[in-house]
Structure 1
Amino acid sequence: MSTHDASAASSIADQVSEFTEGFNARIGADATKVFDDEQSGLRDAGVPASAVRLGDTIVDATLVDTAGDEVSLSETVGESAAVLVFYRGAWCPYCNLTLKTYQADLLPRLRERGVALVAISPQTPEGSERSVANGGLEFPVLSDPGNVLVRALGIQTEPAAGARAVHSDLGFDVADSNADATADVPFPTVLVVDRDGKVVFADVHVDYTTRTEVDDVVAAVDALDAPRPS
């Protein structure tokens, strides 16, 4: 069975469903309802009108690598097209399973196509390093301190107050992981940008338990070089 066939048998959605079943059993009905209500509210509100959309051009940004050094997004991507993955942090199990899946199944396919893969979160460099360790990641994992790029893209949000209270009960707080000590996080988002930085695919997930599947990203990348209809 090929890598692609194996991954198709275990989509991100399938992995999320399996994880959530066990997670909800562990945290109990009350905490589960808090998270369910949060996710329902996010879905009802929908994607912000100001969120990045097709045809937008990504501005360059100063980010921070796992060593704590400043790097520009343009330098990291180089002259290739790129897939940019915005995620909440290493504390988020949905992010971890998504990044691990991207490492296993998406990265090899992007390498074949000469396309860069970069993951970005508001974490400290130490948090980014935990993301790398969690997924054995071999692509750049960068910090966006203060969510400067995320705000420019219109995809900034924060956990609901009730969810943060449950987080605290579970032993952590988002603000402790973020470089600016706030609880601001991006909506999980995947952008495909061409060599000029123009967005050709934008998938913003307001419900953080859902993510962009590998095949959808690859299809968007392949469309970059597809002949345009006359």
Structure 2
Amino acid sequence: MNKFLMIMALFSFLSVWNQAQAQTKFKTVNQAKGLSVGEVAPKFNSSDQENRSFNLENTLESGPVVLIFYRGQWCPVCNKHLAAIEQDLDQIYAKGATVVAVSPETSEFLKQTMKKTGASFKLLHDEDYGIAEAYDVAFLSDEASLNAYNERLGANLQEAHSDDSQRLPIPATYIIGQDGIIKWRHFDPDYRKRASVEDIVAALSEL
């Protein structure tokens, strides 16, 4: 019995130690600052909810790109935001722009977002958080928040993402010009604050 208790204590220690290591390895929500207006937008390749390829550089040839980071299909605020984008999507398209939304979730979960929001634009899988890291929006939540996401909201982050670090993106929105430069951004660590369609259209009108 003592040996069993020692093993359980070891597992508990390793769990706490791994969490501490992750917290020091990855940025917190307040450490992620996001790329600024005027910076070169990192180019990337990805795949959408139907596993079709997407290339940012090629897409910019036809007009500016509205790049939206969202947390996942489990996030009610994200779903409300993407549904609002979809509702007035024609206003954005009228400015010649393409809309894409990026999440660390795999295609199975991207399809759930599509069903919940009615999104007709591309939902992209951010494998290994490469896109979020490039735009400096990736962070690791505290343990209490992660427990809430996984247990109360059914996020299943370790299953839904490409690794088990459970990082998330700050729900930022970027407008990238055809020259590959960031022209506008909405960046706020408060996940409840999102870019409105009106703000996006106004920013596109100034390009």
| TM range, smaller chain | 0.7 to 0.9
Q: 2:66 aligns with which of 52, 62, 83?
A: 83
Q: 2:75 aligns with which of 67, 70, 92?
A: 92
Q: Is the 8 A contact 2:71 2:170 kept in 1?
A: yes
Of the structure 1 ranges 186-195 and 153-162, higher mean CA displacement relative to structure 2 is found in: 153-162
Is the alpha carbon distance of 1:223 and 1:166 closer, same or farther for their aligned partners in structure 2, counting shifts above 3 Å? same
* Greater helix fraction, Structure 1 or Structure 2: 1
Q: Which amino acid aligns with 2:50?
A: A
Q: Which amino acid aligns with 2:103?
A: S
Q: Which amino acid aligns with 1:216?
A: D
Task: Give identity over the alignment, percent.
Answer: 26
Q: Which amino acid aligns with 1:178?
A: H
Residue aligning to 2:161: 178
Structure 2 unaligned segments of length 5 or more: list them: 1-27
Q: Distance in 1 between matches of 2:201 and 2:71?
A: 22
Secondary structure of residue in 2 paired with 1:191: strand
Residue aligning to 1:218: 201
Is the alpha carbon distance of 1:172 and 1:111 closer, same or farther for their aligned partners in structure 2, counting shifts above 3 Å? closer
Q: 2:118 aligns with which of 96, 120, 136?
A: 136
Q: Distance in 1 between matches of 2:186 and 2:115?
A: 26
Residue aligning to 2:84: 101
Matches within 5 A, 1:182-201: 182-201=165-184
TM-score (norm 2): 0.79
Secondary structure of residue in 2 paired with 1:196: coil
Is 2:133 the partner of 1:151? yes
Q: Distance in 1 between matches of 2:175 and 2:142?
A: 29
Q: Is the 8 A contact 1:83 1:118 kept in 2?
A: yes
What do residues 154-189 of structure 1 show as CA deviations (whole Å, max 9, x unaligned)?
A: 111122210122234324432222122331111000
Secondary structure of residue in 2 paired with 1:201: strand
Q: Distance in 1 between matches of 2:49 and 2:124?
A: 7
Q: Distance in 2 between matches of 1:84 and 1:125?
A: 18
Q: Is the 8 A contact 1:48 1:154 kept in 2?
A: no
* Superposition deviation, residue 46 in structure 1: 7.3
Q: Which amino acid aligns with 1:205?
A: D
Of the structure 1 ranges 50-59 and 70-79, higher mean CA displacement relative to structure 2 is found in: 70-79
TM-score (norm 1): 0.72
Structure 1 unaligned segments of length 5 or more: list them: 1-44, 225-230
Residue aligning to 2:107: 125
Residue aligning to 2:42: 59
Q: Distance in 2 between matches of 1:142 and 1:109?
A: 22
Q: Distance in 1 between matches of 2:202 and 2:31?
A: 25
Q: Distance in 2 between matches of 1:167 and 1:135?
A: 19
* Superposition deviation, residue 78 in structure 1: 4.0
Secondary structure of residue in 2 paired with 1:75: helix
Q: Distance in 1 between matches of 2:193 and 2:87?
A: 18
Secondary structure of residue in 2 paired with 1:91: coil
Q: Is the 8 A contact 2:64 2:98 kept in 1?
A: yes
Give the count of matched residue pairs.
Answer: 179
Is 2:143 the partner of 1:161? yes
